[in-house]
Amino acid sequence: MKPYNNETLQLSEGRLIVPAGYSPFLNLRKTEEAIRFIKDRFQNELAAALNLSRVSSPLFVVSNTGVNDHLNGIEKPVSFGIKDIGATAEIVQSLAKWKRLALSDYEFAPGEGLYTDMNAIRPDEALDNLHSIYVDQWDWERIVDASERSVEFLKKIVRKIYGVIRDTEREVCRHYPELPDPFLPDDITFIHTEELEELYPSLTPKERETAVSREKKAVFIIGIGADLKSGTPHDGRASDYDDWSTEGENGRKGLNGDIFAWYPPLQCAFEFSSMGIRVNAESLLNQLEIRNELFKKDLYFHRRLLENKLPLTIGGGLGQSRLCMFFLRKAHIGEVHASIWSEEMINQCRSHNIPLL
Return the active site residues. Answer: 69, 122, 137, 258, 271, 274
Q: Are 88 and 65 in contact (CB under 8 A)?
A: no
d(CA 356, CA 88): 34
Query: Rounded distance, CA 223 to CA 242, Å?
Result: 10
How far apart are the C-alpha atoms of 153 and 160, rounded to whole Å? 11
Angstrom distance (rounded) from CA 27 to CA 52: 34
Yes or no: say if 340 and 172 are a contact pair by the CB < 8 Å rule. no
The backbone torsions φ and ψ at residue 104, rounded to the nearest 5 degrees and listed phi first, read -70, -50
CA distance 201 to 191: 15
Q: Residues, the chain, total?
A: 357
| Burial of residue 39 (number of CB atoms within 10 Å: 0-12, 13-18, 19+) | middle
DSSP classification of residue 126: P
